[in-house]
């Protein structure tokens, strides 16, 4: 059984705060699924890896430092931990961009729920987007919770943090985007019938709590909901729009 | 300031366990958003309602019992509580059905994540489904966490718990369903181009951890993912399928 030095323990603990992650340029990833994905795609970013005694080391290729239960619990955030943690280099987050790589872009405004943010990052990656934009005031995409929901997809696409929606729109327009759509739960063109929704465009999603104010120069787009229930969850709305894009690709 | 009797406190605490909810036929709903929804749609089910001192009672119409912070914390599960809890009658969960009300049905097999289950219930309600099917071994749809993610949608549609996938398929067939689709992350007809996907059909989703085994007599359906990343989250997959149904309704 090995032991972490006091310094190592305090490094890992610091990674549960945004400040600590920024200062140390590291992130913490807990759980078998996310560690497996990181090993597959981002091996070069793994700084060190620890597991709890009893963890089946054959499940992963990375060399693991084995800790006793009580040592491991000092650095784990999870009540039902699967007993494995990777410490991984945290990429610098861009605050501007030089080019737009995808045929449409998604901008998230002040997204605050880690589960929603992670799910959207994972979904964006799964549909093949290479960039994802969000505004300042959002939760840190490299927090442990966001990493877990995204199963590490944030290490495989470019995240760009922009100051606010207005600044973002200007930057998009300067880079050749032709149209900006603001998602609205109640009004606007239907995402299923709007012909130009993904034609060199940006689609903006508001935060879970406050939604999006009207934005000059944008068009409203909405997701039809025959059930007349309260609007769907933010990550679901983003998923519907993203897979409508996939559908159109497929029938082309 | 009021106080709950010891008996009342222990009743509420019991509602955090499945057994307690079943025995008492009650559920616990915490948070402003879900309480508002329940007040709007299911007023008649509210047994009693409590809030923490300082909570703005004008936000709700229901009469609230005001508790001190320390009293409230005895019954709250939330660290950042919004200070309001409704105790609400838990509907009997059906284990069979007499008729199928929707033109297609969704069956969830052994769904274990409360957030996923709640999100799927909310999405099902938002697209207008009136019934949702799941198998034994799933998390309780009336647990506090599932209620919170569904913002109470489980009180507004019929939930039917069936023994297992095989039994479910038989019951569906006996009730006139013509086709059963098994969702698969990698193979099958595309959900975007399969013409008959929603024609008097059942679509089955497997659990987060183990997915779905092959099932005789079913067709596989898949969601195309150009990004070649690990499959999307279960609730996202269900959302894509459900809104593809909405899309087809809309363009009809």
According to the model, what pLDDT value does residue A81 have? 81
CA distance, residue A248 to nearest chain B CA (Å): 9
**pLDDT above 90: residue B81:** no
Largest CA distance in chain B: 62
pLDDT at B69 over 80: yes
Local confidence band at B1 (pLDDT 50, 70, 90 cut-offs): confident
User: Is A171 found in the same domain as A240?
Assistant: yes
Q: Please state, in angstroms and rounded to a whole number, the distance separating the CA atoms of residues A48 and A90.
A: 13
If one counts every other C-beta atom within 10 angstroms of the C-beta of residue B139, the result is 19
| pLDDT over 80 (residue A230) | no
Please give the full DSSP string across B112-145, using - where no structure is assigned.
Answer: --HHHHHHHHHHHHHTT-SEEEEETTSPPTTSHH
Chain B contact for A246 (CB, 8 A cutoff): yes
Across-strand partners of B48? B87
Task: Find the CB nearest A233 among B122, B127, B229.
Answer: B122
- pLDDT the model gives residue A248: 96
Q: How far is CA B14 from the centre of its chain?
A: 21
**Which CATH number belongs to the domain containing residue B141 in this structure?**
3.40.1280.10
Provide φ and ψ at A126, rounded to 5°.
-70, -25
Question: pLDDT band at residue A80, thresholds of 50, 70 and 90?
Answer: confident
Which residue from A37, A149, A236 is facing B230, i.e. has the nearest CB? A37
CATH of the domain at B71: 3.30.1330.30
pLDDT band at A131 (very low <50, low <70, confident <90, very high): very high
A119 with A244, same domain?
yes
Q: How many domains does chain A have?
A: 2
Asked whether B242 and B104 are in contact (CB, 8 A), the reply is: no
User: B4-18, B48-62, B205-219: lowest mean pLDDT where?
Assistant: B205-219
Q: Which residues from A are below 8 Å from B129, CB to CB?
A: 227
B130 & B221 share domain: yes
Question: Does the beta carbon of B239 lie under 8 angstroms from any beta carbon of chain A?
Answer: yes
**Do A64 and A17 share a structural domain?**
yes
In a domain, B1, yes or no: no
3-class SS string, A78-126: CCCCCCEEEEEECCCCECCCCCCCCCEEEEECCCCCHHHHHHHHHHHHH
Residue B232 pLDDT more than 90? Answer: no
Interface contact B99, partner A, CB < 8 A: no
pLDDT tens digits along B134-149: 999 999 999 999 999 9
What is the domain extent for residue B135? 104-251
Q: pLDDT tens digits for A156-189?
A: 999 999 999 999 999 999 999 999 999 999 999 9
pLDDT (average), residues B209-213: 81
The confidence score (pLDDT) of residue A25 equals 96
Model's pTM, two decimal places? 0.94
User: Chain A: nearest CA to B195, how far in angstroms?
Assistant: 13
Nearest C-alpha in B relative to A232: B123
Mutation site for B-interface testing, chosen from A246, A249, A250, A252 by largest number of B Cβ within 10 Å = A246
Mean pLDDT score, B108-131:
96
What is the rounded distance in angstroms from the CA atom of residue A63 to the CA atom of residue A58?
10
Q: Is residue A218 within 8 angstroms of chain B, CB to CB?
A: no
With CA atoms as reference, the chain A residue closest to B193 would be A251
A40 pLDDT tier (thresholds 50, 70, 90): very high
> ipTM strictly over 0.85?
yes
Considering CB atoms only, which of A129, A156, A225 is closest to B126? A225
Determine, for residues B236 and A236 on separate chains, whether the beta-carbon distance falls below 8 Å. yes
CB contact under 8 A, B229 and A153: yes
| Residues of chain B numbered 48-87 and touching chain A (CB < 8 Å) | none
Per-residue pLDDT at B10 exceeds 80 = yes
Q: Is residue B46 part of a domain?
A: yes
- Of the candidates A137, A20, A158, the residue with the CA atom closest to the CA atom of residue A91: A158
Mark whether A53 and A126 lie in a shared domain.
Answer: no
| Pair B62, B138 in one domain | no
Q: What is the pLDDT of residue A205?
A: 97
Per CB-CB distance under 8 Å, the chain B contacts of A37 are: 230
> Nearest to residue B199, comparing CAs of B227, B221, B166?
B221
Identify the pLDDT of residue A211. 79
Candidates A176, A21, A5; CA nearest to A90 is A21
Q: Are residues B224 and B111 in the same domain?
A: yes
Nearest residue on chain A to B121, alpha-carbon basis = A232
Does A139 have pLDDT greater than 80? yes
Task: Give the separation between CA A2 and CA A11, rounded to whole angstroms.
Answer: 17
Q: Is any Cβ of chain A less than 8 angstroms from the Cβ of B121?
A: no
């Amino acid at each position: 059984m090995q032991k972490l030095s006091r310094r190592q323990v305090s490094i890992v603990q610091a990674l549960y705060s945004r400040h600590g992650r920024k200062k140390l340029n590291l992130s913490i990833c807990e759980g078998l699924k996310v560690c497996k994905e990181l090993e597959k795609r981002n091996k070069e970013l793994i700084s060190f890896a620890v597991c709890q005694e009893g963890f089946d080391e054959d499940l992963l290729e990375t060399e693991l430092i084995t800790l006793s239960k009580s040592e491991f619990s000092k650095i784990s955030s999870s009540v039902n931990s699967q007993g494995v943690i990777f410490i991984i280099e945290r990429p610098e987050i861009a605050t501007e961009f030089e080019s737009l790589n995808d045929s449409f872009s998604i901008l998230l405004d002040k997204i605050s729920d880690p589960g929603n943010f992670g799910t959207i990052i994972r979904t964006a990656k799964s549909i093949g987007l290479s960039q994802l934009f969000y505004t300042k005031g959002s939760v840190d995409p490299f927090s442990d919770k966001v990493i877990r929901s995204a199963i590490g997809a944030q290490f495989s696409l470019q995240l760009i943090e922009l100051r606010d929606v207005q600044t973002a729109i200007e930057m998009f327009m300067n880079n050749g985007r032709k149209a900006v759509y603001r998602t609205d739960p109640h009004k606007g063109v239907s995402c299923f019938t709007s012909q130009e929704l993904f034609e060199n465009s940006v689609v903006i999603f508001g935060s879970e709590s406050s939604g999006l104010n009207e934005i000059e120069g944008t068009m409203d787009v909405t997701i039809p909901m025959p059930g007349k229930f309260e609007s769907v969850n933010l990550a679901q709305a983003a998923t519907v729009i993203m897979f409508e894009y996939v559908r159109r690709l497929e029938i082309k």
